[in-house]
Amino acid sequence: MSVPSYSTATFTLNNSKRVGFNLFGIAALISIIFSFQTSVLAQVPIGTWQTYFNYSTAKDVLIIKDKIYCVTENGFFYYDKSNNESIKLSKIDGLSETGIVKIAYSANQNTLIAAYQSGNIDLIKLNEQFEPAKISNISLLKESSSIQDSKIVNHIAINDNTAYLAYDFGLVILDIDKEEIKETYQNLGVNGASIKIYKTEFSNDSIFLSTSVGIRKAKFAINVNLQFFGNWFTLNTERSTFVSFQNGLIIASETGNVSSYLNGKFSGILILPNKIEVIDKIVGNKYFVITNGTLNILDMDLLTFSKVADSKIKQPKVLRADTQGKYWLADYQNGLLSNLEGNYKSYSPPSLDTLYQTRKDSVVVDDEGNTWIRGSGFGGIMVKNPANQQKFITTGTGFGNLPSTNVKTMALDKDGQMWVGTDKGVVVFDSPASVFSGKNFDAYTPVFERRRLLGNETVTSIAIDGGNRKWMGTLNGIFLFNSDGTELVTNFTEINAPLPSNSINYITVEPQSGNVFIRTSKGLVSYRGTATESTNSQLDNTVKVFPNPVRPDFEGQIGIEGLVENAFVKITDIVGNLVYETKANGGTAVWNGKTLDGKRAETGVYLIFSANAKGEETLVSRLAVVK
Give the residue range(s) of CATH 2.60.40.1930 domains in the chain: 7-45+538-625
**Which SS3 state, helix, strand or coil, does residue 297 take?**
strand
Q: Please, which residues bridge with residue 412 across strands?
A: 418
Rounded percentage of the chain residues whose pLDDT exceeds 70:
92
Give the per-residue pLDDT at 201. 97
487-516: burial string, b at 16+ Cβ within 10 Å, e else? eebeebebeebbbbbbbbbbbbbbbebbbb
With residue 625 as reference, give the H or E element that holds it.
Answer: strand 619-625
Q: Which amino acid is it at 570?
A: K
Strand partners, 489: none
- Name the β-bridge partners of 605: 624
**Tens digit of pLDDT for each residue in 302-343?**
989 999 989 999 999 999 999 999 999 999 999 999 999 989
Span 193-251, pLDDT tens digits: 999 999 999 998 999 999 999 999 999 999 999 999 999 999 999 989 999 998 899 99
pLDDT in tens, 343-372: 999 999 988 777 777 888 999 999 999 999
Cβ–Cβ under 8 Å, residues 304 and 286? no
The pLDDT, as a whole number, for residue 7 is 29
| Alpha helices for 487-566 (secondary structure H) | none
pLDDT attached to residue 500: 96
Closest CA to 151 of 164, 139, 169, 133: 169
Rg (CA), the chain: 31
State percent of the chain over pLDDT 90: 81
User: 30-44, 444-458, 582-596 — which is least confidently predicted?
Assistant: 30-44
- State the pLDDT at residue 8: 29
Q: Which amino acid is at 10?
A: T
Name the class of domain 363-528. Answer: mainly beta
Residue limits of CATH 2.130.10.10 in the chain: 57-287, 363-528
Residue 536's pLDDT is what? Answer: 77
CB-neighbour burial class of residue 444 (10 A; exposed 0-12, middle 13-18, buried 19+): exposed
113 sits in which H/E element: strand 111-116
- Confidence class of residue 93 from pLDDT cuts 50, 70 and 90? very high
Q: What is the DSSP letter of 535?
A: B
- 3-state secondary structure at position 35: helix
Give every CB contact of residue 252 below 8 A, 6+ residues apart in sequence: 240, 241, 242, 258, 276, 279, 289
Number of H helices, E strands in the chain: 2, 54
d(CA 71, CA 57): 8
Options 2.130.10.10, 3.30.43.10, 3.30.930.10, 3.40.50.11260; which CATH number does 57-287 get?
Answer: 2.130.10.10
Q: Residues 2, 4, 7, CA angle at the centre, nearest 5°?
A: 150
Q: Identify the CATH number of the domain defined by range 7-45+538-625.
A: 2.60.40.1930
What are the angstrom distances between the C-alpha of 25 and each of 38, 102, 334? Answer: 22, 60, 59
Task: Name, in order, each residue with C-beta under 8 angstroms of 503's C-beta and a sequence gap of 6 or more.
Answer: 475, 520, 521, 522
> Exposed, middle or buried by CB within 10 Å (0-12, 13-18, 19+), for 15?
exposed
pLDDT at 19 over 70: no
What are the residue ranges of helices labelled H in 81-157?
140-143
* d(C-alpha 538, C-alpha 612), whole Å: 10
pLDDT of residue 466: 95
Strand 578-583 to 544-546 pairing:
unpaired
- The burial class, CB within 10 Å (0-12 / 13-18 / 19+), for 162 is middle
Q: Identify whether the C-beta of residue 224 lies closer than 8 Å to the C-beta of residue 206.
A: no
In this structure, the chain runs to a length of: 627
- Tens of pLDDT along 138-177? 999 999 999 989 999 999 999 999 999 999 999 999 999 9
Burial class, 292, CB count within 10 angstroms (exposed 0-12 / middle 13-18 / buried 19+) = exposed
pTM for this entry: 0.86
Cα–Cα distances in Å, from 462 out to 402, 427, 455, 458, 479?
A: 16, 11, 14, 11, 10
- Please choose, from the candidates 263, 142, 156, 248, the residue with its C-alpha nearest in 3D space to the C-alpha of residue 200: 156
pLDDT at residue 31 tops 60: no
Using an 8 Å Cβ cutoff, are 611 and 582 in contact?
no
Burial classification of residue 237, based on how many CB atoms lie within 10 Å of its CB (0-12 exposed, 13-18 middle, 19 or more buried):
exposed
**pLDDT reported for residue 1:** 34
Q: What is the predicted pLDDT for the residue at 614?
A: 75
Residue 375: the pLDDT is: 83
pLDDT band at 541 (very low <50, low <70, confident <90, very high): low
| pLDDT bucket at 180, cuts 50 / 70 / 90 | very high
The helix/strand/coil state of 153 is: coil
Separation CA 441–CA 432 (nearest Å): 8
Give me the chain's average pLDDT, please.
Answer: 90
Taking residues 119-126, report their average pLDDT. 98
Q: pLDDT tens for residues 462-519?
A: 999 999 999 999 999 999 999 999 999 999 999 999 999 999 999 999 999 999 999 9
d(CA 371, CA 386): 8
Average pLDDT for 179-194: 97
**157: left (phi > 0), else alpha (psi -120 to 50), else beta?**
beta
The type of residue at 8 is: T
End-to-end CA distance of the chain: 29
Binning pLDDT at 50, 70 and 90, where does residue 377 land?
low
pLDDT of residue 446: 97
Whether the pLDDT of residue 22 is over 50: the answer is: no
**Does position 70 have pLDDT exceeding 50, yes or no?**
yes
* Listed range (3-7, 77-81, 434-438, 516-520) with the worst mean pLDDT: 3-7
Nearest-angstrom CA–CA distance, 27 and 54: 50
Contact (Cβ atoms closer than 8 angstroms) between residue 275 and residue 254: yes
pLDDT of residue 254: 87
The 10s digit of each residue's pLDDT in 413-468 is 999 999 999 999 999 999 998 899 888 899 999 999 999 999 999 999 999 999 99
